[in-house]
Chain A
Amino acid sequence: MKQYIATYLPALTVLLILTAAASAQTFQSSGSTTISVTVAAEASLYIEDSTTTLTGGPLFSDYTGTTRFIYKIRTSQGSGTGTITSLVTADFSPSGGPSVSNPPTAGDALSYTCSVSSPATACSGTQTASTTAAQPVASFGANARSSRNGNSGQVNWTLTNDPLYATGAYSATVTFTVSAT
Chain B
Amino acid sequence: MPERLICRGKNPHPFIVFLILAACVPAQADMGTATQTLNVVLLPAGKISVPSGFTLTTTGTTFNAYRGALRISYRFRTAPGGGGSISLRAASDFMPPGGPSIAAGALVYACGAAGLGAPCAGFQTVSTTLATGVILVPESACTGGGAPCSAADPAVVELQFTLENSPEYQTGSYASSLVLTVSTL
CB-based contact B177/A32 at 8 Å: yes
With a CB–CB cut-off of 8 A, which chain A residues contact B47? 27-29
CB-based contact B176/A147 at 8 Å: no
CB-based contact A43/B53 at 8 Å: no
Question: In the complex, what distance in Å separates the CA atom of A44 from the CA atom of B63?
Answer: 7
Q: Provided the pairs A28-B47, A44-B63 are in contact, do residues A35 and B54 lie with their beta carbons within 8 angstroms? A: yes
With a CB–CB cut-off of 8 A, which chain B residues contact A29? 46-48, 181-182
CB-based contact A37/B52 at 8 Å: no
Q: Provided the pairs A27-B75, A28-B48 are in contact, do residues A35 and B178 lie with their beta carbons within 8 angstroms? A: yes
Question: In the complex, what distance in Å separates the CA atom of A37 from the CA atom of B54?
Answer: 9
Report how many residues on chain B are interfacial, defined by Cβ distance under 8 Å.
Answer: 48
Question: In the complex, what distance in Å separates the CA atom of A37 from the CA atom of B55?
Answer: 6
CB-based contact A30/B173 at 8 Å: no
Asked if B62 is at the interface of the complex by the 8 Å CB criterion, the answer is yes
Q: Which B37-87 residues have C-beta < 8 A from chain A?
A: 46-57, 61-63, 66, 68, 70, 72-75
Interface of B is mostly: strand
Segment at the interface with A among B3-11, B14-22, B113-121, B159-167: B159-167
Q: Which A23-40 residues have C-beta < 8 A from chain B?
A: 25-40
Asked if B175 is at the interface of the complex by the 8 Å CB criterion, the answer is yes
With a CB–CB cut-off of 8 A, which chain A residues contact B166? 148
Question: In the complex, what distance in Å separates the CA atom of A129 from the CA atom of B163?
Answer: 40
Distance (whole angstroms) from the CB of A21 to the closest CB of chain B: 16
Distance (whole angstroms) from the CB of A141 to the closest CB of chain B: 13
Distance (whole angstroms) from the CB of B156 to the closest CB of chain A: 11
Question: In the complex, what distance in Å separates the CA atom of A33 from the CA atom of B161?
Answer: 13
Q: Provided the pairs A27-B47, A28-B49, A44-B62 are in contact, do residues A39 and B54 lie with their beta carbons within 8 angstroms? A: no
Which of the listed residues A33, A42, A43 has the most CB atoms from chain B within 10 Å of its own CB?
A: A33
Please pick, from B46, B154, B172, B182, the residue contacting A25 in the complex, using a CB distance under 8 A: B154
CB-based contact B171/A32 at 8 Å: no
CB-based contact A38/B173 at 8 Å: yes
Residue of A nearest to B126 (CB): A35
Asked if B180 is at the interface of the complex by the 8 Å CB criterion, the answer is yes
Which of the listed residues B171, B172, B177 has the most CB atoms from chain A within 10 Å of its own CB?
A: B171
Q: Provided the pairs A25-B73, A38-B173, A148-B166 are in contact, do residues A72 and B63 lie with their beta carbons within 8 angstroms? A: yes
CB-based contact B179/A30 at 8 Å: yes
Please pick, from B49, B172, B180, the residue contacting A39 in the complex, using a CB distance under 8 A: B172
Please pick, from B51, B63, B68, B173, the residue contacting A42 in the complex, using a CB distance under 8 A: B63
CB-based contact A36/B167 at 8 Å: no
Q: Which A1-29 residues have C-beta < 8 A from chain B?
A: 25-29
Asked if B123 is at the interface of the complex by the 8 Å CB criterion, the answer is no
